[in-house]
Amino acid sequence: MKNIVIIGCGQGIGFAAAKILSENYNVIGISKTKSPEVENLDIEFHQLDILSGNLDEINFPDVIDGLVYAPGSINLKPFNRLSVDDFKNDFEINVLGAVKTIQKLLPHLKKSETASVVLFSSVAAKLGMAFHASISASKSAVEGLTKSLAAELSAQKIRFNTIAPSLTDTNLASQLLSTPEKREASGKRHPLQRIGNADEIAKMVEFLLSENSSWITGQIIGIDGGMGSVKL
């Protein structure tokens, strides 16, 4: 059975991915949050903050076939209210945490003949969206990292792809969806007239880790209700 590591499996898209992938893979899940739902999953779970914790404390399998880095942030403020620390914090969560994880697990990924890494961006990296300066900057960096590593590690047959969702119904977005009115307004901003859900994104994660996507690398895949490509 193939080994998949999921960073940020405690909630949201990471949890949904862990739930789906645990049916066919050996999943090692890492998250700073622990919930009864996670404990009920058939995975090897480690409670660890990816930014401050030490990955050397975890005994990873010799061969890792897939890596999913799912932590993210939603920090929406007018530009003049964003501090340098806001930019640094978003960059650490979205980019440096991924870099730290990939560098740690790269020797294990190189031992797989079908290794695949899945990262996360945002539709805000493609579209100019007000109040998204910090998150857009860090997610744009994720997209650049994806393409660079896809090129650099193609000889080792390690694939890198990024999923770029729009607003998805997760704990991370709870403040933006806290009332029926907010939820309805957010849905109407999308050509398909609704927001996304974590299971839809998780199924794309599953596809990108599978051999069905073996000729796909260096791609930014928008799952955004049409927002990134369609204007009504």
Question: What pLDDT digit, counting tens, does each position of 7-27 carry?
Answer: 999 999 999 999 999 999 999
The reported pLDDT for the residue numbered 173 is: 62
Q: What pLDDT score does 61 carry?
A: 98
**What do you get for the CA distance between the two ends of the chain, in Å?**
45
pLDDT, position 183:
83
Helix pair 97-110, 133-152: axis angle to 10 deg = 20
pLDDT of residue 21: 98
For position 141, what pLDDT does the model report? Answer: 98
Structural fold of domain 3-168+197-222: Rossmann fold (3.40.50)
Q: Report pLDDT for 192.
A: 94
Residue 114, Cβ density class (10 Å: 0-12 exposed, 13-18 middle, ≥19 buried): middle
Cα 16–21–22 angle (5° rounding)? 100
| Whole-structure pTM value | 0.95
| Six token digits for residue 142 | 């994720």
Query: What pLDDT sits at residue 184?
Result: 85
Low-confidence ranges of the chain (pLDDT < 70): 173-174, 176-177
CA 95 from centroid of its chain's CA atoms:
11
Distance CA 132, CA 90 (A): 11
- Asked if 103 and 158 count as a contact pair (C-beta separation under 8 A), the reply is no
Closest-CA residue to 159 (of 201, 112, 194): 112
